[in-house]
Amino acid sequence: MKKVPNVSQLTPHPETGAPQLDAVPYKLNDFDENAVEAAVQLKEKHGGTVTLLTASRTDPRDVLPKAFAMGADRAIAVVDDALSSFDSLGVAHVLGACIKKHVQKFDLILCGEGSVDDYNCQIGPRLAELLSIPCITYASKLWVEGTHLKAVRTLESRLERVSATLPALATVGMEVNKPRYVSLIRVMAASRRPVTEVPLRDLPPVEKCLGMLSTLKVSAPKSLRKRLILVGSPEETSRRLVHELTQEGVI
Amino acid sequence: MREGSGVLVFSDNLDMLKRLSTVAAELAHSKESKLVAATLAGGATDNPDQLASFGYELIVRVTVEPPVAFPPELYTAMMYGLLKDKKFSVSLFDTSKTGMEVCARVSQRLGVGAATGCKRAWFDGSSFFVERLAYGGKFTSVQKLEREPFIVSLMPREQYQDAREAKVEAVEVSVTPKASSVVLEEANSRPLSGSIEDIERVVAVGRGLRRKEDLSLIQSLAASLRAVVAGTRPLTEDLKWLPHEVQVGISGRTIKPKLYVACGLSGQIQHIAGMRESQIVVAINTDKEAPIIQEADYAIVGDMYQVLPALTQALAQRTSTGQSS
């Protein structure tokens, strides 16, 4: 699970142009909600426990209650400011180390296909490689038959039906399900659910995974777009727009 | 070619190999190294004449032994086999689902980082940089990769290289068969009825559309603009109100029409990546903070249910009064 900023509310700093990450509300990554929903549906059908795992630079206890309210049973979190400079290789290392030490036995790992803020789409595949388990990305349908995970993968120009022996890892997007609605009361009640916090220093050293990819600068792109906002009634703005587009020579 | 240099490009799609060749060539020439295409022997891209026409100087034709059936595992084995001996300084992948997955898995096996979904990649001296969109497309980040091979998945471009004389080299990659492979039970191609890549005008719609029946509003506008209707991922894959081949975005089509009218769509990074190079962008949205507004030349902040009929009418009136188009 990834705690992500609500990107639609993120604004650039007036001087540096950098994103003001401490001035926005945070939420659960959208595709991770699909993953939780898929996990809970499997639990409702086959039994078992759903464990949430997250590594974030700030306390995720503000966003995890929703996942608990949806039906997750427990949560493990690595919280450390140092994580803000980790790339996917480093984060996968941390998550993998956590799984090996604190989860040990599992049947299935579900991830969102990517995060809505970075959309690197690397964590799922890296984690599967690290744990030497089969990897099924972009699952638009998934189900369990005995000791096998079955899925339909939706690619750009083909659909695949695949199967893998458990334990396995799958990544999902919005097509796999519609995350269930949970009331604010249930979410608030879930805010008291315990989260096992694992200090970064308790995990095997991550140094060899760091420093491979560093972010030098994040700034609002110099958009060459005109960004002309037409103001007025629908009729007035439409007439003005038709005029402008005619001038542009595109209609 | 200097040992440890060379730009190795992979895609399971021949057209993507063509569209990656320009950036690959820039990178190769700034390091005086070769532009190399990796292809699976007998696969969809195993066409040395075509690859040479795209500008590749060396084609590495790989046989994986024993054969691996599941494509992501097959390509990961193939590319890891080629990259682990450190003969290449850069490896480029496309931004398709397969490209992104193989990119991540290969770099994990090599123990290096990877930059996925990049807009640009370049050398500055011996330092390697990429530029990619961040935080939902509102921001751009510049990142530096520190350790070779530099692994990047890059958005394709339209400029092409001139043809070259290419050599073909056959390589065999051995794989340790794993009990834990994914079994491919069935694969079916998704019918692609037509390309929207060469269309001049597009009207795209997102989740602002309340009901499938309301598409008639979009279609009327498209007709009066002589445009094609396209949609965001939620409209095509999730709600399935439009066919998947008109999905614009990272997991759909990348297009650059003369005119792109975005109706009731907020402009998520994955969508913007697919229409960023449109000549003129118009956004119609009730939310003036929506990312699409930053990506638009002209924006009307309003309800598309009111604006679209008015716009369709304004276009019809223009034509009927005989004004030039």
Cβ-contact B20, B92 below 8 angstroms: yes
B97–A174 CB contact, under 8 Å = no
A247 Cβ contact partners less than 8 Å away, ≥ 6 residues apart:
none
Q: How is residue B90 written in tokens?
A: 């850069």
d(CA B77, CA B65): 10
Query: Higher-confidence residue: A47 or B5?
Result: A47
Chain A nearest-CA residue for B98: A155
Residue in A5, A214, A238 closest to B143 by CB: A214
- State how far residue B167 is from chain A, nearest Cα, in angstroms: 31
- State how far residue A197 is from chain B, nearest Cα, in angstroms: 26
The neighbouring-strand residues paired with A141 are A152
**Exposure pattern of A174-198 as b/e (b: 16+ CB <10 Å)?**
bbbbebeebeeeebeebeebebeeb
Which band of pLDDT confidence, cut at 50, 70 and 90, is reported for residue A81?
very high
**Exposure pattern of B19-45 as b/e (b: 16+ CB <10 Å)?**
bbbbbbbbbbeebebbbbbbbbeebeb
Q: How is residue A146 written in tokens?
A: 């005995």
Please check whether residue B183 touches A, CB under 8 A.
Answer: yes
B311–A156 CB contact, under 8 Å = no
Gyration radius of chain B over CA positions: 22
Distances (CA, A) of B208 to A220, B10, B204, B299: 26, 38, 11, 15
Which band of pLDDT confidence, cut at 50, 70 and 90, is reported for residue B1?
very low
Q: How is residue B315 written in tokens?
A: 């276009």
| Average pLDDT of the segment spanning B195-222 | 91
Cβ-contact A76, A195 below 8 angstroms: yes
**ipTM field:** 0.91
Residue A24 confidence (pLDDT): 93
Residue B324 confidence (pLDDT): 47
pTM of the model: 0.87
- State how far residue B165 is from chain A, nearest Cα, in angstroms: 31
**Looking at A49-58, B99-108, B187-196, B240-249, which range is the least confident one?**
B187-196
Cβ-contact B89, B148 below 8 angstroms: yes
**DSSP-derived pairing of the beta strands B7-9 and B90-93:** parallel
pLDDT digits over A139-150, tens only? 999 999 999 999
Chain B nearest-CA residue for A121: B100
- Residue A114 per-residue DSSP state: S
Q: How is residue A23 written in tokens?
A: 């001035």
Residues on chain A touching B98 (C-beta within 8 angstroms)? 155
| Average pLDDT of the segment spanning B216-224 | 95
d(CA B75, CA B101): 10
d(CA A126, CA A132): 10
